Structure formats: C-alpha cells, structure tokens
Structure 1
C-alpha cells in the first residue's frame, strides 16, 4: 500500500465530520470498531443496502464476530489480528448478517486509524457480482442447449450425406475444375475414388449439352441463381438434370452441382428437392462417415475415413470390422453398439483411431441407428480433434470432458477414475470462472475460491492455465 506523501499539507485541517464523509463515500458500508473488536458506529452509502441490513442498530455495542455468519468468523478474526499486527490490509469475503437468519455478501478490508486502536472496516456490496455470476451460469446453460441441438441436426445431416446415391460435385467457379466429389460422382468421372486426377466438369457431358450448361453457369454468376437444365452424359448418353448452387468458402467462389437421373433409372434414387438441398450443405463436411451392419462390419465409408485409416480405396474397408481401426479392440466398439441398442444416439464419444501404418489420432464419435430393408444398421460420424485450436492465453492441454463424455465412459474405466475426472472438470471450470471474473487477478481469484495463493498456483500449474511468474505476484 502506498500512502500520501504529505497528508497533513494536502488534506489540510481535516476534522472528524469530514473524515466520516470520506469514509462513507469510499465504501458501501463502513464499520467503526474499537480495540476490543466491538462495533461502535455504522454508515451506509446505499439506501438499498441499508434497507437490506434491517436491524443494523442492534450491531452497535456488539462484537463484530457476533454479527456475521458462522463460516465468516475465522476471516473476521484473521482481519482483526492483521490490523493489530499492522500487517498490510487484505480484502476478504464476509457474509454479514441481515434481518432474520439472512446474510449479505460483503467484501471487507480493515484499516487502523489513530492511536486509540480504532479500526475502520470498509465494505463493498458483492450482490451485483453474484447477480453477474448467476447470469453467466444461465448464459452458459443456454449455449449448451443450443450446441446440443446443433449436434443433433449435424448428425442427421451426416447420415443423409452418407446414404446419398446421386453424383454431387464441388467446382471452382472460375475454371470449372472438379474440387470435390462424392462416391457416385467419382464413378461417373472414372476416378474410382482416387483424388489425384483433375477433371473439368464440362468434360462429363456430350458436346451438344455443354453450351446450355455454360449459359446456366454464366447466369448463375450474374444473378446468384440458376435454373435446372437437362443434359446428356458423354460416357453412356444418359439424360440427367443438372442443378447448381453458388457459395463462398475462404474467399473462394465455388459451385455445388447435383446430377439427378430421371425417375425410374436403374440403380438411381431421386430424393425430394428439399432433401437434395440438405445434401448440398453436408457434402463438403470434412469429417469421416461410416455405415456398418449390426455386427460392426463396414458397409460403406467416405473418403475422409479412408484417409484417416490410411487406406487406398473404400474397397479395403468394406466388409472389415470397424473396431480394427477404432480404439481398443473388443472394448470401444462393444460400448458404442451397446449404447446404440439400449439408449439410442451416442454423442461426443472420445476415443482414438489407428491408421494402417501406425498413425493415431484423437477423435470424437457421434452414432445413430438407421433402419433399412433388412434391419437396423449403424452410422458413425467421426471427427478428428487432435488439431483442435485451444483458446488464447490457455495452454494446449487436454480439454475438460463434458458431462456427456463422462457418461459415455461408464463401463470403460473404473468408478474411482470417473469420480476423479469429474472432480478435475469442476475444479478447473471454477478456477477459470474466478480468473475471468477477477480480470486474471490471481490474488483476488484465490480469495474468491477460498484458497491460499500458493494452492492456487499449484492448481494453475496442474491444469496448465496461464503463464506463471517465477515468484508469486503481489496483490493487484
């Protein structure tokens, strides 16, 4: 604490009345306490707080210890001892008694004045901060609910994408080069699922149809909309309906094109136009998708899964058990399928995926059960989380598990490990919230959490939260 350089000169002849006005203005509540710890006078700077503290007149002549909640008495004793020892003042959270069996959270600091042992306790009303904390919790709960709804919708879109049988392509708007294509489009382009060959979109069609498609794409670039056109394929002369939708990604102009075969074409499935728009949205998602039979053997897998599993083509995965690449053989797949049969969809199941050549990545799995003509099959959406970006100012350590993830671990790890994991999650979240509320002031955060600064530093190092100095920082 740094005092005034020349208080007698700068403050002038400051009498008791002026000092009382200054003390009242400096705090929401001020207590005058004698050398025996007895309250001699009380002042309020807030009418609301004075009304909340009804019966404060009964504090006069009573020890301060008797006017606070039971859990705050050790803190009051420590504050009075510090001021008697002339130690530096510290702010402490005190639950000051109010009305019948009530209390109000107050942040107190004590200062010794004069030579008679009198002490002034300055208090700040913490109710606005408590209200802010409550709003923060409610906002977080609302975000969690919205995120869960988005995850459900995303899972449904992913399954639709995997079951789609019509050719869908993503083109460069300027050159019309094919950037991405689904499995049906790869077969149409003659690439057999291989991504190495670059093809021009117009080469797929007969020469007499290319002019109409070029006019459609030119109109789309000018107006942002395109009417569907009929065209003929170059390879086998079949008629197709060409639909195009422009979009932008990373400052690049792209076009999503869908080819629809006429109704009744052998081997073709024509979905309603609304469903086809849904497919356009999910076509470019870079996550892995796998469909398996009830016994866990792969029926089909997209290119992202083939790449993650380090395979050359989809044929190498079809007919193989998914657990060959997933987590611990005989454990992870059994837990997933058991949850799918008994509880329905699975979300955010954390595990690992092993490639054919030894590469291992951390993944999250969402899974659903889909009924087909011969019985149920399982769909798995697999997301690589190994390269997930951490928040600025936080170490790139393992992110805390969510409640859903902890639930999914039941049956995989012992109960004592689940309890320890849940405790760590709660402790880390509380520390992060305290640091946010105090503007990363670790001394205040430790006080708010009821920890010593040294204990807080130990926990910060344990969870990798923030950059720690070589020595403890001062009060700030």
Structure 2
C-alpha cells in the first residue's frame, strides 16, 4: 500500500437517506470508528475540538484537544495537513495521506482521510493506525540494506579471489566436472600455453594439454569426485619440456561440481627455483643494469638499475615494452645484437646508446647471452661508458688516438663524422711525427710537412699540441 493511496471511483448510495438518515448518534459514532482507529473533529480553523479512539493500543491523545492539527504532526508532514485542510469541501472524502505524529516512544504513523460533514458543521479526520505496516516497511528496508551489505562483501571477496588468482605464479584453471571444459584461467596459464587472454574459456582441458590421455583424465577426475579428495597425475607439455604435475581439487559452486586444476613442476624444479632466488636478489642489487627479454625482444623483467637508466617509473611500466624503445638506434642495434646472439649465443661489449623517455641519450656497452631453450630468452648486462670516460684523466684532445678507437665509433655516429675524425687523427699523427723528427723544432717541422709556419701554428693550436706560449718566435 502506498503512503498516499488514491481513492477508488466514487459511487454513493442510491438511497442515502434510507440507509443513514435514521441512524442514532451511537450508531453514527460506531460507523465513524469502524472506518478508522481514531477520529478527529476539526473546526473551520483546523483546530482539534474533539478526539475519539477505538484501538486499545493507541496512546492517550486527549492532549491534542484545543491544538491545531498541523501542530501535532512532524515537520515533514505539515504540508500534507495544510493541503488537506485547504482542499475545497466535497461530498466525496479525499484520498488517504500518511502523516507522522511525534511522541515520547517515537513517531506514530497514521493514514488520514478528511470527511466534510456539511456546511456549518465540523470536518472529521478519520485515521488508521499503520504502525504495523510501517514496522514491516522498516524490516523490509533493513533486509534490503543487509542484502546490499552481503552483496558488497561478496563482491569484495570475489575481487580478492580474482587478485590472488591472477597473482599465482603456477598455472591454475577452473573446469566444470561434467564437461571438463575450462571456465576460468589465470594469466600464468595463458603464458604456459601461449594463448591469447580469453581464448581458453570453454575449451576441453584434454585438448588444451596435449600430453594427456582423455581416458586417464576422466578416470583421475572421476576418482577425485567420488572421494572428495585431490588427485595428481603427471602430464607432458611437449618434446624437450620437463613434465608437469597436474593437481585437481574438487569443490562445489552453484549446486554443481567443479575442479581447481594446478600445473606445477616437480620438486627438483622447485628446489632449483628456490636455489635461483639468491641469484635473482644479486641481479636486483647489482650496480649495472640488467634486462631479460623474450624471443621477440620484449622486456620480461629488469633490475632497478635498468629502470633508473631508462628513467622508467617502475618495472611494471616497462614490462612488455620492446627493448628497442630504450636501447640503440631504432631498427638497427637491437636487431644486430639479436642476430649475433642467435648465431653465436653471446655478444660482448657492444657499444650503442640508451635513450630514455625524456629524450636524454647516453653511451653504453651491452653484453648479452641467449638461453638454449627453444624460442628462449635473452639477457643483457648494460654499463654506461660516459661515466667511465669522465673518470679517466683528461686527454689533450678530443679526437681518437688509434684506428681501434675509430672503429668503435661505428654505430655511434654517421660515416661522414667518422671520416672527419680519421682525417684529424692522421693530421695529428703526422704533426707529432714531424715534431719528434725535428726535436720539437716548429720551423723545421713546418718545412718537412710542406706547410707554412702560420698554418702549422694554427693546426697545433687546434689539436692542442705543446705549450705555444713563449714559442711563437720559432714560427716567425
């Protein structure tokens, strides 16, 4: 029932006088009280002149006599009282309106209908006690709030389960016990089978794991269903791959049976993995950068030094990115190193550059290895050479001193720049040889080089050879 229940279509008695015209006062009062639990007599100003109560459990309402009707109700109910009192007189009673009367024991909810008794006569407010209905409504609201809280807890539990499910390092799948089809799989499962996210859903487990017999799988799962305990079986993941242990644990969900399937390596592999933990910790702490990529040269993981080197925000932010985004010239250096690794299994001290997201470039040396597994991984140790060069004693010049140093420039600058560097190298070496041959006599050195003394002076100044202060007389 709504708070403001609309009235039904009016249909008065055909012979009203014959029905109620001869009613005595007591019968009329009984008729009024039968229509409701309380009756309020109201004058033309809306002041309560009298009160009649028929319900035994109603509080004492004698204090309402002489008060305005709207003063006996709560603030939010006063507009409804004013609306009923201001409505024009009618032979048909108005619709029921719910109002609340404040009291020492809480609100008293009443449904009122205003009845006009005729011109010059008081109006009658017939009221029905709806405390039981309001209590049911309150219980319904509390039940709804409880359901919403339970639903929120369920969603939070589901979110925690999903987070834990996704973070498990071992491949874990959930399958239907009847059809043996996959209903859920964690990211480690997709990585193990080389499948795209979502592509394992609704697939038969025996078809996904190639090295397993359908009959053996049905027998193992059937035994686990009968006993209610987990079962284990060894499965082959392919040629050259170590076998894995399949553990199936039955459980119930939505009145149906399902299995939690876990694939793991044997204990020897687990011990080997635990033995690699100190190695992983050392790699994380080493000052040189280290990065591990997959067969497509996409970053799998890296240590903190590599993250700092490329000015990344975190390891997670650079995971999955192509190595060529950070190392070497686009499409050149990384491809060359990959070919070298595929052919020889390792690369030593390859000189290239690192370019971070903030466009800062720095010279580096890269050493790398490749694993022997099919489709394997690549590991790279990276060391910056700019810091090492800055730490060396300052040289008298900026050009290379040998052919070996010239060849190291390949990949770091264009051929045109390398040719210019080689020209400077040859010129410097010839000038140094001439000065050594003439015992540092600049005039004789200029003559055997076929240069004017002023030209030799200019080249000495450009190459930073010797202390020319106080020696200009030798060139004059």
Q: TM-score normalised by the shorter chain: which range applies? A: 0.3 to 0.5
Give the TM-score normalised by the residue count of structure 1: 0.45
Work out which of the two has the higher radius of gyration on C-alpha atoms and give 1 or 2.
2
TM-score normalised per structure 2: 0.45
